[in-house]
């Protein structure tokens, strides 16, 4: 069953271009190490606030990837540009 991690955070407007470049590098590195990452979506909510969804093939693949995140320097580089980060995980039960 597919699962999603939903990240919420803020990024300063002046940092957005650099952040999206670093986020792209993080996604590429994560897919190299953990190919269960199916898709990501960055959603602007306004006021410098974002929701970032990462869809994984399974809970096990997502768990393994995030257990390894400390070993992925691109994660530290991207997340250093965010403020007030939080995340939630959930399994997809219906898609239409």
- 3-89 has which fold? Alpha-Beta Plaits (3.30.70)
pLDDT at 29: 97
What residue segments make up the domains of the chain, in order of their start?
Answer: 3-89
What DSSP string runs through the chain? --EEEEEEEEE-GGGHHHHHHHHHHHHHHHHHH-TTEEEEEEEEEETTEEEEEEEES-HHHHHHHHHSGGG-HHHHHHHTTEEEEEEEEEE-----
Residue pLDDT tens, the chain, 96 long: 799 999 999 999 999 999 999 999 999 999 999 999 999 999 999 999 999 999 999 999 999 999 999 999 999 999 999 999 999 999 999 989
């Amino acid at each position: 069953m597919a699962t999603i991690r939903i990240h919420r955070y803020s990024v300063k407007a002046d940092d957005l271009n650099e952040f999206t470049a670093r986020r792209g590098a993080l996604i590429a590195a994560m897919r190299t190490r953990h190919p269960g990452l199916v898709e990501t979506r960055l959603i602007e909510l306004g006021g410098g606030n974002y929701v970032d969804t990462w869809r994984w093939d399974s809970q096990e693949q997502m768990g393994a990837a995030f257990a390894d995140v400390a070993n992925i320097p691109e994660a530290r580089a991207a997340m250093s540009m965010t403020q007030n980060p939080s995340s939630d995980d959930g399994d997809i039960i219906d898609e239409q």
